[in-house]
Homo-oligomer: A and B are copies of this chain.
Amino acid sequence: MRIEIITIGDEILIGQIVDTNAAWMARELTQHGFEIAAITTVGDRQKEILKALDNGFSRADILLLTGGVGPTNDDITKHTLSHYFHTALEFNDEVLQNIESLFLKRNIQLNQLTRNQAYVPACSTVIQNMNGTAPILWFRKEEKVLVSMPGVPYEMKSAMTSDIIPRLLEQFQVHDYVCRFYLVAGITESGLATLLAEYEHQLPSGFSLAYLPSAGYIRLRLSVWGDEHSEEMKQQSLKLKQMLGNLYVAKSEKAPEALLGEKLSKMRYTLSTAESCTGGYIAHKIAVVPGASDYFVGSIVSYHNRIKIEQLNVDDQTIGSCGVVSSEVVKQMALHVAGKMKTDCSIAVSGIMGPDGGTKDKPVGTVWISTFCAGELVVQKYLVGRSRTENIERTANLAMLQMLKMLVSK
């Protein structure tokens, strides 16, 4: 069953916000066996929305709309759907009751704009929104389905999980999507593709291998539709792992921080970080994983050099002779943060993220990463030279992967 996701909102078309909803929905739906035909974003204008609905129904069986359902005048999705389905808006008491109980809980007064949220297209089936004022609207068009939901991420996610996906699974037959993910590090995309050229060539019909380069690593996806291919998938998966040799990091679609967390939990090791150029980003990534408090203890962000000396006891003469972006400095940072925070493991980074601060010897993108684990210290230099944000992302991933590899080898 093919689904098209249609995101409605001028804020996306002018680049004010990034559409993270579509990615979340696509992921959830794929995992439930639905195929995403396309993702489209259009503005809050009736003509454009109508055209998107026509395009959508020409290539998909199910249209999932998000956005344009707020109480304000710039939101016109509901009116446009009334027009599209030739139906009038009618007042729905249950929606009002739902809004009233929501506002009571939050201790906010109900105003007329919010009351208007209870007007819904007559031909739609209403699903109550347990987290917001805009109801979820479900339409049938012959054998096809259209669902309109809010664009507020947690309202959309809650409705998708508890109502929309279960109802879609009741009404539509799905094929299983069988796939395996591999995290690969230490090679370029074309280098990896050259290495795997013969392997790709021998893959049975229907199987496909995709290369998904990420900041600091490559994700491989081996996939096929239909679970009758499960046995073949097992064999191909084994073969692939052998081909990858020591480029292979993990058979998983999880992010480095999640893999690192699992490994630390399993080994009952604790972790701290000492960060300069990443400014706390590694700590944040590690802490965002639910249950991180089992192994993550804390971090010292020494953005200013003075903090490296005062809080991390880095020798100021070492800074003077080697520079802050050096093997010697990150080694001291890693050792001292583990000592101060009494952790088994630690990660320390120092680098030049740009746009300024590069020199001929140490251009923008030069990063030193040191990882420490139970008495052992590893230190490595990387060149990540791209834009500032990407450099920070890349450095954080490389640091977590260096730590992960160290733990795997133990």
Q: Out of B10, B71, B152, B300, name the residue touching A193 (CB < 8 Å).
A: B71
Given contacts A133-B190, A301-B301, A311-B298, are A20 and B18 in contact (CB under 8 A)?
yes
Contact A284 B278 (CB under 8 A): yes
Is A38 touching B52 in the complex (CB atoms < 8 A)?
Answer: yes
0 or 1 for each of A392-405: is its CB under 8 Å from B? (1 = yes): 10000000000000
Asked whether B113 lies within 8 Å of A197 as measured between CB atoms, the reply is yes
Q: Measured between C-beta atoms, what is the minimum distance from A336 to chain B in Å?
A: 12
Contact of A292 among B41, B190, B279 (CB under 8 A): B279
Q: With A13-B26, A37-B48, A154-B387 in contact, is A299–B299 under 8 Å at CB?
A: yes
Q: Once the chains bind, are A39 and B12 in contact (CB under 8 Å)?
A: yes
Given the complex, which residues of B lie within 8 Å of A191, measured CB to CB? 108, 111
- The number of times this chain is found in the oligomer is 2
Whether A36 contacts B18 in the complex (CB less than 8 A), given A279-B288, A280-B301, A307-B298, comes out as no
CA distance A25 to B219 in the complex (A): 25
Q: Provide the residues of chain B in CB contact with A208, threshold 8 Å.
A: 74
Q: Are A283 and B293 in contact (CB under 8 A)?
A: no
**Interface membership of chain A positions 107-137, coded 1 if the CB is closer than 8 angstroms to chain B and 0 otherwise:** 0100111100000000000000000010000
Q: How far is B20's CA from A198's CA once the two chains are assembled, in angstroms? A: 33
Min CB–CB distance A49 → chain B (angstroms): 10
CA distance A213 to B133 in the complex (A): 14
Minimum distance in angstroms from A397 CB to a CB of chain B: 14
Residues A298 and B301 in contact, CB atoms below 8 Å apart? yes
Residue-wise interface mask of A (63-77) relative to B, using a CB-CB cutoff of 8 A (1 in contact, 0 not): 000000011111000
- Asked if A157 is at the interface of the complex by the 8 Å CB criterion, the answer is yes
Task: Please pick, from B13, B73, B390, the residue contacting A36 in the complex, using a CB distance under 8 A.
Answer: B13
Chain B residues near A280 (CB-CB < 8 A): 273, 275, 279-284, 287, 299, 301
- In the complex, which residues of chain B have a beta carbon less than 8 angstroms from the beta carbon of A22? 12, 15, 19, 41
Q: Does A267 contact B (CB under 8 A)?
A: no
Known contacts A114-B190, A287-B303: does B25 contact A15 (CB below 8 Å)?
yes
Q: Which of A292-322 contact B (CB under 8 A)?
A: 292-293, 296-304, 306-307, 310-311
- Known contacts being A48-B37, A280-B281, is A297 close to B287, with CB within 8 Å? no
In chain A, positions 209-226 with a C-beta closer than 8 Å to chain B are 209-214, 219, 221
A28 within 8 A of B: yes
* Chain B residues within 8 Å of A307, by CB: 297-298, 341
The answer to whether A1 has its CB under 8 Å from any CB of chain B is no
Q: Which residues of B are found within 8 Å of A38, using beta-carbon distances?
A: 13, 40-43, 48, 52
Contact A297 B304, CB 8 Å, known A26-B13, A113-B190:
yes
Does A230 touch B at the CB level, under 8 Å?
Answer: no
A214 to B279, CA, bound (A): 23
* Residue A94, interface by CB 8 Å: no
Q: Given A38-B41, A191-B108, A59 and B51 touching (CB < 8 A)?
A: yes
- Can you name 15 A-B pairs with beta carbons within 8 Å? A11-B210, A14-B27, A14-B221, A15-B26, A15-B30, A18-B23, A19-B22, A37-B43, A72-B189, A108-B191, A281-B288, A283-B303, A288-B388, A297-B307, A299-B303
- The list of the 10 closest CB pairs from A to B, nearest first, reads A279-B287, A15-B27, A280-B280, A280-B283, A15-B26, A299-B301, A39-B41, A298-B307, A281-B284, A13-B36
* Known A113-B194, A280-B281, A307-B341; 5 more pairs at CB < 8 Å: A10-B210, A73-B193, A73-B200, A108-B188, A281-B287
